[in-house]
Structure 1
Amino acid sequence: MSSYIRNVALIGGTGSLGSHILKHLLATGKHNVTVLTRTQSKATFPTNPNLKIAKVDYSSEQSIVEALRGNDFLAITLNSQAPRTLHSEIINAAKKAGVPTVLPNYFGFGIRERAGNLASCPIMGSFSKILKEVEDVEGVDYIALVCGFWYEFSLSLGEQWYGFDLKKRTVTFYDDGTRKINTSTWDQCGRAVAALLSLPLTKEGGNAAIQDYLNNGLYIASFLVSQRDMLDSLNRVLGTTDADWKISYEPVEERHRKGLEELGSGNGLGFVKAMYARGFFASGEGDYQTGHVLDNEKLGLPKEDLDEATRRAVAMSQKSFEYEV
């Protein structure tokens, strides 16, 4: 019988994505989970016999190495404000600690040939550097979680993301608003990672195994939807009609160009505007499902309800939600 991953380290266990990975990992009851957290952190964690908290000084490689030692897998979900060098430092520490496989801090639309033209994009192409940081370290494999943009987060935060301002009831459709992209909920991402790490390391018959995904992508999604689909869902959830919304239109390539210009002038939201617009380009990289097979079924992931996810997005928009990965 093939062996399984038992000991998992997680960086970012209190963040928006990391907390969902932690929740679903612990729910399996199959893993011993070590969450690395800053020495000065006041974060609280659930009480669970399979959970260990390791206080780490991220400025000390030895501190990271000691926390990672004895683990079979490392999942990295760094805060967007983390130092740019930290990811590569963690990968090097993982090698020294003997951790064979990592889930890098990469959550995009595809890798290699399935990334399409994204590699030439000034913003989206930069994410490939994250994978290269792992590829350049001999003896460490990776599995990249390909999940698209996060649905509730992207719908709730503001116009620069999916084009919606839920409080003002406005939406900017990119082109005509009907181009579909893949998008995932945080819960689905958490379930996917937990299901992945519950697979055998090597093949047992015809079933999926960890080896199927090494140095490649794990492709999952909650929905394949357009902005028009999102507005229809919002109308069902809120009891509104299109007449209650101010709807405008903008060529998506023009929006992408404006975002890059805003970023160049020092406006950080320009990064968001350009990145999200690029996902809706007619070249189709945002739809990584059509023409391919998602890994949802192999992982046993449930089919989700779009309106329920939209309802969560509306609730998030109504409170002071601060994004932390």
Structure 2
Amino acid sequence: MATSTPQNYIEKVAIVGAGGQMGTFITEALLKTGKHHISAITRSDSTSKIPAGVEVKKVDYEDPASLIEALRGQDALIITMSVMSPPGQSAKLIEAAAAANVPWRSHRETKMGEDAMVGLAKQADRDLIEKLGKSSWVGICCSFWYEYSLSTGPFTYGFDFENHSVTFIDDGTTKINTTTWPQTALAIARLLSLKVLPDDTNDNSATLSQFRNQPVYISAFLLSQKDMLESVLRVTGTKESDWKIEHEAHKVRFAAGVAQFNGGDQRGAVKLLYTRVFYPDGCGNYEARHGLHNDILGLPKEDLDEFTRIAVDRAERKVLVF
């Protein structure tokens, strides 16, 4: 595989959502490498705060020419849009990236299949990239972000900190992979800092090309809801008897999420997405099926209680980014 740029590394990186929660972490991680020129692709009317040191390029999603111009000369495009973003928006970016000859595109990956809804959309994005034949994709399979998911409310990881209650899906022992914001950002920065191609036939070091049109699997923790509760007890200094613990069968909870979403409540979509990852079919434990790329990317071991503490603080301050 050949790179479309003469150098054997990624220099210019465009980010959609650079001012968002995950986008900010990614942008700052890339800036710290000192290896990249970063451009934030934003709407002309956006008021998002973009980190210093980033070039801002305003676009109109209804004008393909403005997207193409903003992406021209970029080596990679990172899209961090929410799963609730308007339909067709990622396709517009993909088509513009192809027209601008951007060789690499990174997005957040999902492996939960049709039940999770976002799986089909991600597959459509990948299919479009390969059909256009101008770019290669790399999916970042990181599952849900731990400190966000633990703090957001009972419809995610089941915890209600205000009322000291938790709802376990089934018996609460199904283990899933979960990742933190900083680790996800560091993984992307490390990935885009790899050489694109081996130096020669004897070079066995990690390269970006080995992940061409494939997911990169990363994880901070492999946890069950009971494991999460144990960490919460340590951080808060509470006892299990201080908490109201309820149980809900995974199929019942999933169906409730579907009904809630169909009734117009967006939290229903979140509930069904999170419930699906806790199904006993093992879909949430991709580490067991695929292994992880943490070591290849040099990702550090993270402290569970440190990020539980962040989640507890977010919940107390009601920082519910949804």
TM range (shorter): over 0.9
Q: 1:126: which partner in 2?
A: 120
- Write the distance in 2 (CA, Å) between the matches of 1:43 and 1:254: 39
Which residue, 239, 242, 254 being the options, matches 1:241?
Answer: 239
Q: 1:64: which partner in 2?
A: 67
- Write the distance in 1 (CA, Å) between the matches of 2:43 and 2:119: 30
Q: 2:102: which partner in 1?
A: 99
Q: How does 1:153-164 map to 2 (within 5 A)?
A: 153-164=148-159
Q: 1:296: which partner in 2?
A: 294
Q: 1:152: which partner in 2?
A: 147
Shift of 1:76: 0.5
For residue 155 of structure 2, give the secondary structure of its aligned residue in structure 1: helix
- Quickly say closer, same or farther: Cα 1:2–1:98, change in 2 above 3 A: closer
Shift of 1:291: 4.2
- Write the distance in 1 (CA, Å) between the matches of 2:70 and 2:183: 28
Q: How does 1:77-88 map to 2 (within 5 A)?
A: 77-88=80-91
Contact 2:314-2:320 at 8 Å conserved across structures? no
Contact 1:21-1:194 at 8 Å conserved across structures? yes
Q: 1:115: which partner in 2?
A: none
Contact 1:2-1:203 at 8 Å conserved across structures? no
Which residue, 169, 174, 180 being the options, matches 2:175?
Answer: 180
- Quickly say closer, same or farther: Cα 1:295–1:308, change in 2 above 3 A: same
Shift of 1:167: 1.4
Shifted more, 190-199 versus 2-11: the winner is: 2-11
- Write the distance in 1 (CA, Å) between the matches of 2:125 and 2:161: 33
- Write the distance in 2 (CA, Å) between the matches of 1:217 and 1:232: 31
- Write the distance in 2 (CA, Å) between the matches of 1:78 and 1:155: 21
Q: 1:24: which partner in 2?
A: 29
For residue 33 of structure 1, give the secondary structure of its aligned residue in structure 2: strand
Unaligned runs of 5+ in 1: 111-117
For residue 237 of structure 1, give the secondary structure of its aligned residue in structure 2: helix
Q: Which amino acid aligns with 1:154?
A: S
Q: Residues 209-237 of structure 1: CA distance to partner in whole angstroms, max 9, x if unpaired?
A: 11111111011011000000100000011
Q: Residues 230-265 of structure 1: CA distance to partner in whole angstroms, max 9, x if unpaired?
A: 000000110011111100011112211221222223
Establish whether residue 6 from structure 1 lines up as the match of residue 11 from structure 2.
yes
Question: TM-score with structure 1 length normalisation?
Answer: 0.92
For residue 53 of structure 1, give the secondary structure of its aligned residue in structure 2: strand
Which residue, 161, 165, 169 being the options, matches 1:166?
Answer: 161
Percent of aligned positions that are identical: 40
Shift of 1:2: 7.2
Q: Which amino acid aligns with 2:67?
A: I
Q: How does 1:190-269 map to 2 (within 5 A)?
A: 190-204=185-199, 205-269=203-267
Q: Residues 292-322 of structure 1: CA distance to partner in whole angstroms, max 9, x if unpaired?
A: 3200100011100000011111111122424
Contact 1:107-1:144 at 8 Å conserved across structures? yes
Contact 1:2-1:202 at 8 Å conserved across structures? no
Q: 1:308: which partner in 2?
A: 306
Unaligned runs of 5+ in 2: 1-5
- Write the distance in 1 (CA, Å) between the matches of 2:35 and 2:317: 35
Q: Which amino acid aligns with 1:299?
A: L
Q: How many pairs does the alignment contain?
A: 313
- Quickly say closer, same or farther: Cα 1:122–1:192, change in 2 above 3 A: closer
- Quickly say closer, same or farther: Cα 1:282–1:321, change in 2 above 3 A: same
The RMSD of aligned alpha carbons is 1.7
Shift of 1:122: 5.6
- Quickly say closer, same or farther: Cα 1:100–1:88, change in 2 above 3 A: same
Shift of 1:140: 1.7
Shift of 1:41: 2.1
Shift of 1:47: 2.7
Q: Residues 170-211 of structure 1: CA distance to partner in whole angstroms, max 9, x if unpaired?
A: 100011101100000111110000000000001242211111
- Write the distance in 1 (CA, Å) between the matches of 2:184 and 2:147: 12
Shift of 1:124: 4.8
- Write the distance in 2 (CA, Å) between the matches of 1:282 and 1:82: 29
Contact 1:174-1:250 at 8 Å conserved across structures? yes
- Write the distance in 2 (CA, Å) between the matches of 1:134 and 1:320: 39
